[in-house]
Amino acid sequence: MSFLKIVSMACLALILGACQSFFEPNLRKPLTVQRDASELLKPGCTTNDCPLVNVDTVHFPDEPKLDGIVQRTLLQLTRSDTDGPVPPTIKAYQDQFLARAPARNASYLQAKVREQHDGLVVVELSSYLDTGGAHGDPGRAFINYSRQQQRVLTLADMLVPGQEAAFWAKAEMAHQAWQVSTKLDKDADFQKTWPFKRTSNIALTYGAVILKYPVTTIAPYAMGHIELKIPYPQLNGIIKPELFPGRS
């Protein structure tokens, strides 16, 4: 092979590499996040206890696919029945709620970016339905969005195959540690009434894997949404290695 041909091939490789870098997203740079907050009252209502819908969400100008996922997940939190229909848009939900809601009723929806790291965007979503009673009905959800794969990661995506039982064993250990830290491990009645359970709300945050529980799942309503933390060193061989912070 001639020297000129070798040089030409090397230059072509450099050009192709530069083009690839140019068109690939820079996963180390966080996505731009735009906040979108609004509050609507029931049309025509002039009293102090008008029904309202408060929405505080986020948009991603450079990742429209994630925008749609956030909206759909927020709308799923509005359902009182998990098998019920989901409103097609936030606007449709606002109109539907305000048309039916009596005085003193309110609905709050929020989506916020909890963290961005290693090409992951962790979005925490919350809802709160106030029907005028002693306390409302709160909901929570997480989105773990992989910018590289352009999709939401499920627990199965996070785990090394065959390690689901090991993961939940570590989660139960985290539950025991939480009970010790709150001194609830000494309360036999609490132990019996509020045993460990699994949750679908799992977040790959930078510091630890977070499990968040709906109210009245593993503790009374007054204790709110309990968070359990599993440090990554405990998850070696359980969580896929590329999902450990700093390894991607």
Q: For each of the chain's 248 residues, which pLDDT tens digit applies?
A: 554 454 455 445 555 444 444 445 678 899 999 999 999 999 999 999 999 999 999 999 999 999 999 999 999 999 877 777 899 999 999 999 999 999 999 999 999 999 999 999 999 999 999 998 888 999 999 999 999 999 999 999 999 999 999 999 999 999 999 999 999 999 999 999 999 999 999 999 999 999 999 999 999 999 999 999 999 999 999 999 999 998 75
Residue identified by tokens 């986020």 is 58
Residue 86: closest CA among 75, 94, 101: 75
Q: Residue 211's beta-bridge partner residues?
A: 202, 228
In the prediction, which pLDDT does 180 show?
Answer: 95
Q: What is the CATH number of domain 34-152?
A: 3.30.565.40
Answer yes or no: are the C-beta atoms of 205 and 115 closer than 8 Å: yes
Cα separation, 177 vs 123, whole angstroms: 26
The residue extents of the domains of the chain are 34-152, 155-243
Which CATH number applies to 155-243?
Answer: 3.90.640.20
Contacts of residue 173, defined as CB under 8 A and 6 or more positions apart, other chains included, come to: 230, 234
Verdict on whether the full-model pTM lies above 0.85: yes
CB-count burial class (<10 Å; 0-12, 13-18, 19+) for 76: middle
User: Distance between CA atoms of 216 and 224, rounded to whole angstroms?
Assistant: 8
DSSP SS3 for 88: coil
pLDDT of residue 85: 86
Residues with Cβ within 8 Å of 181's Cβ and at least 6 positions away in sequence, in order, are none
Residue 21: the pLDDT is 43
Angle subtended by helix axes 90-100 and 64-76, to nearest 10:
20
